[in-house]
């Protein structure tokens, strides 16, 4: 009698997606060990940008991605230019 053990394939960690209302956001991580210096990220031609430090993806709010009233920790939206 044999027992079949299915191989457990590692699940790639999906990057966290943060919906924002501004094309310009600042990110300084989520604090603690995951924190990093605050960096400003600006979206270009595409309605999203990824943080090179913590790999979070910031997606511009649209009809398909309803905005969340509360931003994720460590995320700051730009004021839309000075
Ligand atoms: Zn970050």
Could you count the other beta carbons within 10 Å of the beta carbon of residue 63?
A: 5
Q: Give residue 44 CA to ligand 1 midpoint distance, Å.
A: 17
In a domain, 3, yes or no: no
In a domain, 68, yes or no: yes
In a domain, 8, yes or no: no
In a domain, 82, yes or no: no
Q: Give residue 80 CA to ligand 1 midpoint distance, Å.
A: 20
- pLDDT score for 32: 78
3 vs 43, residue with greater confidence: 43
Average pLDDT score over residue span 18-46: 91
Q: Which residue range forms the structural domain that includes residue 62?
A: 17-77
Rounded to an integer, what distance in angstroms lies between the CA atom of residue 23 and that of residue 58? Answer: 9
- pLDDT score for 19: 92
CATH code for the domain in which residue 35 is found: 2.60.260.40
pTM of the model: 0.66
Computed over every residue of the chain, the mean pLDDT equals 82
In a domain, 34, yes or no: yes
Q: How many domains are contained in the chain?
A: 1
Q: Which of 82, 80, 76, 78 is nearest to 38 (CA)?
A: 76
Average pLDDT score over residue span 61-79: 74
In a domain, 55, yes or no: yes
24-29 vs 35-42, strand pairing mode: antiparallel
- Does residue 82 surpass a pLDDT of 60? no
Q: Give residue 51 CA to ligand 1 midpoint distance, Å.
A: 5
């Amino acid at each position: 009698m044999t027992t079949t053990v299915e191989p457990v394939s590692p699940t790639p960690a999906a990057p966290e997606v943060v919906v924002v209302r501004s094309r310009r956001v600042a990110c300084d991580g989520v604090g603690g060990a995951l924190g990093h210096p605050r960096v400003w990220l600006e979206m270009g031609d595409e309605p999203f940008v990824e943080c090179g430090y913590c790999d979070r993806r910031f997606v511009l709010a649209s009809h398909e991605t309803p905005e969340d009233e509360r931003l994720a920790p460590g995320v700051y939206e730009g004021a839309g230019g000075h």
